[in-house]
C-alpha cells in the first residue's frame, strides 16, 4: 500500500510539471533585425519532473517544463543559452549549455533533453529516488524540429 501511495504522489508530481500553455503555433512575423530561436523540450518520462530555469547570456528567461517550448528573439551575434540547477532537493542538477551564433532574419530550433546518471532509490519512510540530470542541447533542422515541437505547449516568461 505504501508503494502505491508513493507512486501516486510521484505521478502527480511529474504530471504537474508539464507545460500547460497553448499548442505550438509558428510565429508569423519576426523583426528583420532579429533572429527567432525556438527552444523546445519534447515530452519524455525520464527527467519529466524537473523544470530547469533557462538563461540567455546570463539572464533568466523562463523555466522549461516537460513538453514545453519558448520563442526568443535575439540580436545577431553569439549567445549562450544554458540551463542551471533546479531547486528540487532530490535532483542534484539539470545543467547544460550551448553557444549559438545567430543571424538576423533567420530561425533556429534547439531541442533540450535531460539525460540521467547515478540513478538510485533509497528506502526511507517511503522510497525516494535520486539521480543526476544533465541537459543536452541540440540544434535541429527545421523539418524534424517542426514534427517534434508541434506537440509542445508554449511557456511564458
Pick 72 or 3 by higher pLDDT.
Answer: 72
Q: Residue 52 — very low, low, confident or very high, per pLDDT cuts 50/70/90?
A: confident
What is the structure's pLDDT at 29? Answer: 92
Pick 136 or 38 by higher pLDDT.
Answer: 38
What is the structure's pLDDT at 20? Answer: 76
Rounded mean pLDDT, 36-61:
88
Rounded mean pLDDT, 20-27:
89
Rounded mean pLDDT, 125-143:
71
State the residue for C-alpha cell 529516488. Answer: 129
State the residue for C-alpha cell 530550433. Answer: 109
Cell numbers that stand for 4 in this block: 502505491
What is the structure's pLDDT at 55? Answer: 94
CA-based end-to-end distance of the chain: 40
Rounded mean pLDDT, 33-55:
88
Pick 59 or 121 by higher pLDDT.
Answer: 59
What is the structure's pLDDT at 6? Answer: 40
pLDDT value at 7 more than 50? no
Pick 17 or 136 by higher pLDDT.
Answer: 136
pTM of the model: 0.75
| Burial (0-12, 13-18, 19+ Cβ within 10 Å), 89 | exposed
What is the structure's pLDDT at 9? Answer: 40
What is the structure's pLDDT at 45? Answer: 79
Amino acid at each position: 500500500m505504501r508503494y502505491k501511495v508513493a507512486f501516486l504522489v510521484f505521478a502527480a508530481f511529474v504530471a504537474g510539471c508539464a507545460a500547460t500553455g497553448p499548442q505550438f503555433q509558428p510565429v508569423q512575423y519576426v523583426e528583420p533585425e532579429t533572429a527567432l530561436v525556438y527552444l523546445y523540450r519534447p515530452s519524455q518520462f525520464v527527467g519529466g519532473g524537473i523544470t530547469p530555469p533557462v538563461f540567455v547570456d546570463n539572464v533568466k528567461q523562463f523555466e522549461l517544463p516537460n513538453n514545453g517550448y519558448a520563442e526568443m528573439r535575439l540580436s545577431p551575434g553569439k549567445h549562450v543559452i544554458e540551463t542551471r540547477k533546479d531547486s528540487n532537493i532530490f535532483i542534484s542538477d539539470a545543467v547544460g549549455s550551448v553557444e549559438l551564433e545567430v543571424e538576423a532574419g533567420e530561425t533556429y530550433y534547439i531541442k533540450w533533453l535531460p539525460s540521467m546518471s547515478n540513478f538510485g532509490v533509497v528506502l526511507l519512510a517511503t522510497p525516494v529516488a535520486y539521480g543526476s540530470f544533465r541537459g543536452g542541447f541540440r540544434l535541429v533542422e527545421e523539418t524534424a524540429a517542426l514534427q517534434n515541437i508541434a506537440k509542445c505547449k508554449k511557456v511564458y516568461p
